[in-house]
């Protein structure tokens, strides 16, 4: 799925285990399952909670933004790059993440699913 030439994108296969991941899906989607270690800030709360990202993100590192399929994360990626943050959209989102066999967990660490 393409969201325009202006959105920097990375493939799930290119992500390393220690890459910083920002999940912008809504609470119900997050609770169903997410990537372990990801920071969760729903798109609907993103502007109000922006400071949480700037505190948690690696100072000189890249922010990998993910949602269910890539649309919402593309919006956030564009916003972050406009703020001068090195951010990339994870192409295909959590759907591709799960299809690639990457772990999806709940808050309790149990296996989860992509809602």
* Alpha carbon distances (Å) from 13 to 7, 60, 98: 18, 22, 11
* Alpha carbon distances (Å) from 95 to 66, 67, 69, 78, 113: 10, 9, 6, 21, 9
Are 73 and 35 contacting, i.e. CB atoms less than 8 angstroms apart? no
pLDDT, one tens digit per residue, over 31-88 is 999 999 999 999 999 999 999 999 999 988 999 999 999 999 999 999 999 999 999 9
Its pTM surpasses 0.85: yes
Tokens of 64: 């990998």
Length of the chain counted residue by residue: 115
Helices (H) and strands (E) in the chain, counts: 4, 5
**Residue positions annotated with a catalytic role:** 67
């Amino acid at each position: 799925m393409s969201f325009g030439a202006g959105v920097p994108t990375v493939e799930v296969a290119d992500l390393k285990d220690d890459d910083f991941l920002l999940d912008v899906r809504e609470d119900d989607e997050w609770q169903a399952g997410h990537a372990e270690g990801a920071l969760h800030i729903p798109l609907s709360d993103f502007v109000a909670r922006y400071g949480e990202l700037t505190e948690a993100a690696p100072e000189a590192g890249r922010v990998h933004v993910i949602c269910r399929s890539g649309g919402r994360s593309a919006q956030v990626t564009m916003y972050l790059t406009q703020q001068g943050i090195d951010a990339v959209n994870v192409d295909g989102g959590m759907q591709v993440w799960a299809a690639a066999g990457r772990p999806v967990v709940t808050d309790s660490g149990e296996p989860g699913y992509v809602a």
